[in-house]
Amino acid sequence: MTCEKSNIAHYEESNSDSGNLCIVSEDEGVYTPRNAEDSPLYQTVVKNLETFLSDHQQRDSPVPFFVEREMRAFLDCGIPSHGFIRVHCDSCGHDRIVPFSCKGRGFCSSCGGRRMADTAAHLVDRVLPEVPTRQWVLTLPYTLRFLMAYDSKLITAINSIFVQAVFTSLRRRAGLSALGRKARGGAVVFIQRYGDALNLNVHFHMLAFDGVYAEDDDGFIRFHVVGPPSDTEVLRLAERIARRVEKLILREGLNIDAKHDEQPFLAELYGATVKWRILSGPLAGRQTVRVSELENGHGHNGKTSPRCVNVNGVGLHANTAIPARDRVRLERMCRYMCRPPIALERLKILSDGRLKYKLKKHWRDGTSHVIFEPLEMMERLAALVPAPRFNLIRYCGVLAPSAAWRRFIIPKEENTETETTICKGNSGKNGLHSRPRHYAWAELLKRVFSVDVLKLSDFSDNFNYPNKNIIRVDSVR
């Protein structure tokens, strides 16, 4: 942030890479925070939340507390009247206020964008070693998507099946299958609840090493690179996963009706969003409106990409690989895997009050947009909220928290203590402090936007974060 005119290019808000972290404006020459109340998503929630809650209360299927809490917190996110921190510049005497955020995990693009950038930076800097990696994507039939929507144990079981199948394939292709547990893979699994059109679609994105670690005769841990899997190998993996998932369902005796009795609202909501239907309101039971803006009404040619198969509804894709030293691309892939579900730049309110959402890519039938009624959008948002205390990121193999080899695999930081350049008043002894788990705001801006805000002015010397001056909502009304 600076009070002088800068020549920094204009960086718009982008949900795909940065969420709504900031806008750096060339015209204004200052950091301009987002205006949360102007977004179509905020306007939809603030106008329809009470109606949405009361309608389901009257139907004897009240909205769960964790969903209502997420929606109400979203209405407070980025609004100064609900609390802020004051930031003061000693050189010019100007003040800035930074509103508090909701830190939601469901559909808030601002908090999700910050978490996306922070998680990706953490994985690249402190978790993932410089070895080749590959993205594996597992999708499942509609019935399983419905069951996994609020069954954390089922998600954990299917994730274990997925990880074990991929690790077994890597050991076999590396020629180390005879070593059994001594040859170990590593992966980070991201559990996503949403599809491109905000539909409920619980699926798995795995970022796995393209190889395995094994201990040699001298006791050294070495990485054995494995080449890309063939189409036949990917098909074999998909068939194995499909068989094991089917056995899991039969063994556990999972029943859709039982879920309906336990959580009637969630069962109705997840069932409707999985089937692309409207749950409540005058249009209840109808399909979501799809729009095609293509002249011929057809999307891509439908050709299957390499290393992409589908076996009885179980889809497996493994055609995206990242070289060992391409850390920039690796961080971009991590952002993609843990991105928030809604891209605000693709959402707009139509003249009749409905919402139009642009798809990232055209579907095979030519669909380029989907149209939501306001209450239908509220249903979609409610379905995107994960249950409390459920981890959406899993570390597997040598990257597991208790793995014996983890400390030898993860990158080593050059210095455990780094010099602070943001606020000298908060530094420890001799101006040094231990690096925290979460990255500073300025660091994330530099990584996402390629803008070093600390060089725009005498930021490090004159800019203070007065933590004692945090003002709550009652103080600013």
Domain boundaries along the sequence of the chain: 23-105+437-476, 109-409
Q: How does residue 462 score in pLDDT terms, banded at 50, 70 and 90?
A: very low
pLDDT, tens digit, for every residue of 331-342? 999 999 999 999
Of 277, 291, 288, 292, the residue nearest 372 (C-alpha): 288
Per DSSP, the residues of 35-78 read -GGGSHHHHHHHHHHHHHHHHHHHTT-PPPHHHHHHHHHHHHTT
Q: What is the pLDDT of residue 449?
A: 75
Q: What is the pLDDT of residue 42?
A: 94
Instruction: Flag the least confident range among 236-245, 261-270, 349-358.
Output: 261-270
For residue 460, give Cα distances in angstroms to 29, 99, 215: 18, 22, 47
Could you give the CA distance from residue 231 to residue 304 in angstroms, rounded to a whole number? 11
416 Ramachandran zone, left/alpha/beta (phi>0; psi -120 to 50): alpha
Per DSSP, the residues of 297-336 read S--S--PPPTTEEEETTEEEEEEEEE-TT-HHHHHHHHHH
pLDDT, tens digit, for every residue of 135-160? 999 999 988 888 888 788 899 999 99
Instruction: Spell out a b/e string for 362-396, using b for 16 or more CB atoms within 10 Å of the CB, else e.
Output: bbeebbbbbbbbbbbbbbbbbbbbbeeeeeeebbb
Say if CB 202 and CB 145 are below 8 A apart: yes
Q: Which residue has the higher pLDDT, 342 or 176?
A: 342
Could you give the CA distance from residue 150 to residue 462 in angstroms, rounded to a whole number? 49
Q: What is the pLDDT of residue 74?
A: 94
Mean pLDDT of the chain: 80
Structure tokens at 466: 């007065």
Say if CB 345 and CB 40 are below 8 A apart: no
Q: What is the pLDDT of residue 454?
A: 59
- If one counts every other C-beta atom within 10 angstroms of the C-beta of residue 472, the result is 11
Q: How does residue 469 score in pLDDT terms, banded at 50, 70 and 90?
A: very low
Query: What letter would DSSP give residue 81?
Result: G
Residue 187 in this model has a pLDDT that exceeds 90: yes
pLDDT > 90 in the chain, percent: 47
Q: What is the pLDDT of residue 30?
A: 42
pTM over 0.85: no
